[in-house]
């Protein structure tokens, strides 16, 4: 059980960091807005991506293992894609409400996109999250599992403790900053 919790934490951190890189890439390269730290903490991670990754693993892992056909056509990947869109949209919506409650606002505004709800979620980003989620579930997560299995247990423990210390320091810094 302890090893699984550590594995999920490292997974959470990995995808939080990848999410941060994705957000910064969009800001700097695609939209040319310039750099800003896209996370709610100081470090280079967006916890909503790590949270979304774990929710996808827990909620859609069973579906990925099934082989569902419509006639002779395997439709499981399409169903997984739709599931990813639904799950990530709900995570993003819930995340926006949590951020608004705790920080007075949320870090994105989708009002410029068609088919948006209060600027919190929109069809365009949800489809992008669907595509990214497919890449995550079918490519990155299996790669992460293979790398973890090849890694010596002590090395994995070291990674876990370094990430844990970094996040603990970051959360402590955020708490102390809020009392100023």
What residue ranges do the domains of the chain occupy? 2-154
Say whether pLDDT at 42 is over 90: no
Read off the pLDDT of each residue in 34-41 and give the average, rounded to a whole number. Answer: 64
Return the percent helix, strand and coil in the chain, to nearest 5: 70, 5, 25
Say whether pLDDT at 40 is over 80: no
**Euclidean distance between CA atoms 109 and 122, whole angstroms:** 9
Return the pLDDT at 75.
96
Return the pLDDT at 39.
60
Return the pLDDT at 38.
59
What is the average pLDDT value for the chain, to the nearest integer?
90
Return the pLDDT at 150.
95
- If one compares 117 and 28, the residue with the highest pLDDT of the two is 117
Give the pLDDT confidence of 135-177 residue by residue, as tens digits.
999 999 999 999 999 999 999 999 999 999 988 988 888 788 7
Return the pLDDT at 89.
95
Share of the chain above pLDDT 90, in %: 66
Return the pLDDT at 106.
82
Helix (H, G, I), strand (E, B) or coil at 57: helix
DSSP secondary structure string, 109-158?
--TTSSSEETTTEEHHHHHHHHHHHHHIIIIIHHHHHHHHHHS-HHHHHH
Read off the pLDDT of each residue in 17-34 and give the average, rounded to a whole number. Answer: 83
Residue 64 — pLDDT band, cuts 50, 70, 90?
A: very high
Residues 6+ apart with CB under 8 A from 23: 38, 46
pTM: 0.83
Say whether pLDDT at 120 is over 90: yes
């Amino acid at each position: 059980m302890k090893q699984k919790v550590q594995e999920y934490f490292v997974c959470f951190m990995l995808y939080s960091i990848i999410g941060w890189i994705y957000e910064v890439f969009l800001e700097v390269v695609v939209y040319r807005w310039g750099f800003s730290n896209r996370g709610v903490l100081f470090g280079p991670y967006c916890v909503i991506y790590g949270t979304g990754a774990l929710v996808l693993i827990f909620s859609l892992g069973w579906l990925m293992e099934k082989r569902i056909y419509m006639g002779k056509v395997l439709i499981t990947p399409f169903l997984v894609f739709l599931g990813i869109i639904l799950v990530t949209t709900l995570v993003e919506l819930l995340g926006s409400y949590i951020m608004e409650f705790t920080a007075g606002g949320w870090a994105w505004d989708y009002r410029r996109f068609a088919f948006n709800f209060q600027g919190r979620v929109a069809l365009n980003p949800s489809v992008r999250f669907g595509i990214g989620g497919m890449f995550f579930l079918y490519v990155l997560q299996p790669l992460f599992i293979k790398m973890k299995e090849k890694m010596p247990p002590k090395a994995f423990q070291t990674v876990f403790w370094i990430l844990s210390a970094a996040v603990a320091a970051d959360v402590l810094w955020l708490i102390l900053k809020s009392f100023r």
